[in-house]
Structure formats: structure tokens, C-alpha cells
Amino acid sequence: GGYFIVNGTEKVILVQEQLSKNRVIVEVDPKKEIVQASVTSSSNERKSKSYIILKKGKLYLKHNVLSDDVPIVILLKAMGVHSDKEMLLLVAGVDEVYQEDFAVNFEEAIKQNVYTQQQALDWIGSKIKINRARQGGSYKRTHIQEAIEAISSVIISHVEVTNMNFRPKAIYVAHMARRVLMAKHDPGMVDDRDYVGNKRLELAGQLMALLFE
């Protein structure tokens, strides 16, 4: 921190300790029996936090833009991963233990009658919390358009989507899911929030700029 006099006014700079941005952190909530991987995405446009959580043996995406948690299989289908086998390998690799853990997630898509990318986008779009009144006029976006915008620029926003290519983001989601499955079996894979490598020290940028004017 620091103490300064600027134009006769006392100014104090406080250093804030924050978890690193754009870094996956794996945690366990013993009370709720939930394992989760979270990432605070920070880009020029926005900052938001996304979670991949394991509850009752199944994986879901959790984000404050969504009214309900989204089954990971539906999310990956929306991102263009069509084949169940490809999805299984993307998340679990060739490890039979992880494959068995992940296989139960396919039931969620079947329950919701979601089999294609368009159906997945429409399903996710129906779960997005928006103020429909602000759209006004005769033009209103469809569920599919809303889902595309949310997946492209809101959910895990630091991973860019260009020309509707969701592949890099799908790989990132699969990586988060794999970290969760690993932590389920090995407590040593859970991150320590207090570890200095998972933190950053943030200064008051506007005040620093003022001091150096």
C-alpha cells in the first residue's frame, strides 16, 4: 500500500489480494458434497465467473446468466461436439475410470430430448435469464440466438469464439470437467486457495494514474 498527499488531499493505496483471473481453480464443498472447477474470466469487454460442478455424480455448467444448471453433455453439443464418443474422449481420455464416471452424463441429454446442436442451443437459450421487455419493438431474439451470444461472449468469456468456431471453448470446458473428475478420485488434485501461485495483488489503477499525472 502507500500514503500520499495529492493536491492537499490525503490518498491511501490499498493492495487487494484476489484469485488469479483466467485460471481454473478446483475446490470441494464437503457440506454440499460438491466438487467444482471455477474460472473467473477477465477480458476487455467483461468479467464473469463460470463453474463446472459435480453433483450427484453428474457434471453441470453453472453461471449467473443461467436460471438452471446446464448438463455438460448439452453444453458440449451446443458447442458443436456431436459424437458421444468424441465427447467421452475429450473429457475422460482413454482412462476407463474417468470414462465410467462421465458416461452417466449422457442420460441428461436423453431426458431432455436433446440430440443435435440446434436442440442444445434452443434448450440453453430457454434457460438464459434476460429482460425480454428491454428488447422491445417487433424484433426479439430466438432462444438459439440468445444461447449463441451467451456461449460466445459471456460464459468463459476469456476464450474467444470467432466465426462460430466453439472448438477452443469446448476443449476448455472439457479440461475443467476432467480436473473435476480427477479431484473426485484424488484429493491432492484440489487447489489450495491460499497458495500464492493462485493469487494476484491488485492496486488501485486509477489512483496510481492520478499520482503520476
Q: What is the pLDDT of residues 165-182, one digit of tens each?
A: 999 999 999 999 999 999
Per-residue pLDDT, 9:
85
- φ, ψ for residue 27 (rounded to 5)? -135, 165
Per-residue pLDDT, 144:
93
Closest residue by Cα to residue 35 from 197, 192, 187, 198: 187
Per-residue pLDDT, 108:
95
Per-residue pLDDT, 210:
43
Instruction: Give the single-character DSSP code of 45.
Output: S
Per-residue pLDDT, 125:
94
Cell numbers for 64: 449467473
Let me know how long the chain is: 213
Alpha-carbon span 75 to 62, nearest angstrom = 11
- For every residue of 93-147, DSSP letters joined together read TT-HHHHHHHHTTHHHHHHTT--SHHHHHHHHHTTB---GGGT-SS----HHHHH
Alpha-carbon span 59 to 77, nearest angstrom = 14
Per-residue pLDDT, 46:
77
Per-residue pLDDT, 5:
74
Q: Which residues does the chain have with pLDDT short of 70? A: 1-3, 13-20, 131-139, 192-213
Cα distances (angstroms) measured from residue 205 to each of 13, 15, 67, 201, 212: 9, 11, 34, 12, 11
Per-residue pLDDT, 212:
46
Per-residue pLDDT, 156:
93
- φ, ψ for residue 109 (rounded to 5)? -65, -35
3-state secondary structure (DSSP) of residue 184: helix
Alpha-carbon span 43 to 49, nearest angstrom = 12
pTM for the model: 0.80
Give the distance from CA 128 to its chain's centroid: 14
Q: What is the pLDDT of residues 75-107, one digit of tens each?
A: 999 999 999 999 999 999 999 999 999 999 999
